[in-house]
């Protein structure tokens, strides 16, 4: 999958991933009204609105981008109907040829991590049948449990040619509370980064590992160090746009070959129609506003190379 992701990045010339985070507040009124007419103001109604919204955004952007990153929390808030909407979104994005990064941030003791890995990037055997439950290509993983929590993901990923992005330095304001703490004189994120790189040696693609790292665009100085420590690790970079990360901040996340990073934007793309800059599109044409925001993001990133 890392090979496919890189191929698609080269083909589209767009090292970006559209974050599908359908908070109700970002879904245009007309989409919600239609869904509520059919399903009522219920969990089903909200989940259906999220799916309609995603579908239209995928339809208007899929030819420009290599991947999407649905954030599972946004679907879980709608309960079981929300999970169905998550699943439908993944299936639809796949039918459009997109790589799927499930932002699920899992990790636990070994036996539980095994089940998470099976659910998201693997398959389950039931009698003589086999099923892929959610069927993402990559999942995001929390490394706090150490090797016990990661190993099941590695084993499943090797078997299935799927991959993962492990949290190394997250984009949020308080990420330093633990991640920047010095351990034996070094910041914890560096130690985690080195270990992610080692885990990655066990599951290499052609140029990069199937084991990637999450590195926030909001900490460019730290990205400089991490890029050096982890030359064969692909970075999933959140924090661009809505969280304040700029194109210039992204530069240290990339290697000199122009590869090595894929930059996420969620609100900046899916809620573009709410931004002054795209006001001309109007709420009805929200998906066209998203398409323009994708084009602008690609050009913005190109401008720093």
Ligand X SMILES: O=c1ccn([C@@H]2O[C@H](COP(=O)(O)O)[C@@H](O)[C@H]2O)c(=O)[nH]1
Kindly indicate which of the ranges 113-121, 145-153, 266-274, 294-302 contains the residues binding ligand X, using the contact rule CB under 6 A.
266-274
Q: Is residue 241 near ligand X by the rule CB under 6 A?
A: yes
Residue from the set 106, 203, 227, 267 that interacts with ligand X by CB under 6 A: 267
Q: Cα separation of 297 and 121, whole Å?
A: 29
Write down the residue that tokens 């304040």 correspond to: 244
Residue from the set 149, 205, 220, 238 that interacts with ligand X by CB under 6 A: 238
Catalytic residue among 4, 34, 105, 274: 105
CB nearer ligand X, residue 44 or residue 70: 70
Residue 36 buriedness (CB in 10 A; 0-12 / 13-18 / 19+): middle
Q: Cα separation of 71 and 241, whole Å?
A: 17
CB nearer ligand X, residue 19 or residue 260: 19
Q: Cα separation of 3 and 7, whole Å?
A: 6
Contact between 228 and 202 under an 8 Å Cβ cutoff? The reply is no
Q: Is residue 170 near ligand X by the rule CB under 6 A?
A: yes
CB nearer ligand X, residue 160 or residue 234: 234
Q: Cα separation of 142 and 149, whole Å?
A: 8
Q: Cα separation of 266 and 74, whole Å?
A: 12
Nearest residue to the partner ligand X, using Cβ? 170
Q: Is residue 275 near ligand X by the rule CB under 6 A?
A: no
Contact between 305 and 59 under an 8 Å Cβ cutoff? The reply is no
Residue from the set 81, 200, 239, 252 that interacts with ligand X by CB under 6 A: 239
Q: Is residue 301 near ligand X by the rule CB under 6 A?
A: no
Query: What six digits make up the tokens of 180?
Result: 């920047």
CB of 66 to ligand X, least distance (A): 17
* Window 195-234: contact mask with ligand X (x via CB under 6 A): -------------------x-x------------------
* Window 103-122: contact mask with ligand X (x via CB under 6 A): x-------------------
CB nearer ligand X, residue 114 or residue 264: 264
- For Cα atoms 256, 261, 266, give the angle at the middle one, nearest 5 degrees: 145
Q: Is residue 19 near ligand X by the rule CB under 6 A?
A: yes
Kindly indicate which of the ranges 109-117, 131-139, 182-190, 236-244 contains the residues binding ligand X, using the contact rule CB under 6 A.
236-244
Contact between 260 and 165 under an 8 Å Cβ cutoff? The reply is no
Q: Cα separation of 136 and 257, whole Å?
A: 27
Give backbone dihedrals phi and psi of 246, rounded to 5 degrees, phi first: -110, 170
For residue 105, indicate whether it is catalytic. yes
* Window 46-75: contact mask with ligand X (x via CB under 6 A): -------------------------x----
CB nearer ligand X, residue 50 or residue 160: 50
> Which residues, at least 6 apart from 178, have a Cβ–Cβ distance to it below 8 Å?
188
> Which residues, at least 6 apart from 16, have a Cβ–Cβ distance to it below 8 Å?
65, 66, 262, 263, 264, 265, 294, 297, 298, 301
Please give the size of the binding site for ligand X, defined by CB under 6 A.
Answer: 19
Catalytic residue numbers read: 105
The site for ligand X (CB under 6 A) is made up of: 19, 21, 71, 103, 170-172, 214, 216, 238-239, 241-243, 264-268
């Amino acid at each position: 999958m890392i090979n496919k992701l890189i191929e698609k990045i080269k083909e589209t010339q767009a090292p970006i991933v559209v974050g599908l985070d359908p908070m109700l507040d970002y879904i245009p009124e007309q989409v919600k009204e239609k869904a509520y007419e059919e399903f009522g103001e219920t969990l089903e109604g909200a989940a259906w609105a999220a799916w309609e919204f995603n579908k239209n955004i995928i339809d208007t952007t899929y030819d420009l981008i290599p991947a999407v990153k649905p954030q599972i929390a946004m679907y879980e808030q709608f309960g079981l109907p929300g999970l169905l909407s998550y699943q439908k979104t993944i299936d639809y994005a796949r039918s459009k040829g997109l790589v799927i990064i499930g932002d699920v941030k899992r990790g636990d003791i070994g036996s539980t991590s095994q089940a998470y890995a099976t659910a998201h990037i693997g398959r389950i055997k039931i009698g003589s049948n086999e099923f892929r439950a959610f069927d993402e290509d990559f999942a995001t993983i929390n490394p706090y449990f150490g090797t016990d929590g990661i190993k099941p993901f590695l084993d499943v990923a090797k078997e299935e040619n799927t991959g993962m992005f492990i949290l190394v330095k997250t984009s949020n304001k308080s990420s330093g509370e633990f991640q920047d703490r010095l351990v034996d004189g070094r910041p914890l994120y560096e130690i985690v980064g080195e270990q992610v790189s080692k885990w990655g040696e066990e599951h290499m693609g052609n140029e990069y590992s199937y084991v990637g790292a999450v590195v926030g665009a909001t900490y460019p100085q730290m990205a400089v160090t991490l890029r050096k420590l982890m030359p064969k690790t692909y970075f999933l970079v959140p924090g661009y746009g809505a969280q304040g990360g700029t194109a210039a901040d992204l530069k240290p996340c990339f290697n000199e070959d122009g590869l090595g990073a894929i930059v996420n934007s969620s609100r900046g793309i899916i809620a573009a129609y709410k931004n002054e800059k795209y006001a001309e599109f109007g709420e009805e044409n929200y998906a066209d506003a998203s398409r323009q925001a994708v084009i602008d993001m690609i050009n913005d990133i190109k401008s720093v190379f």
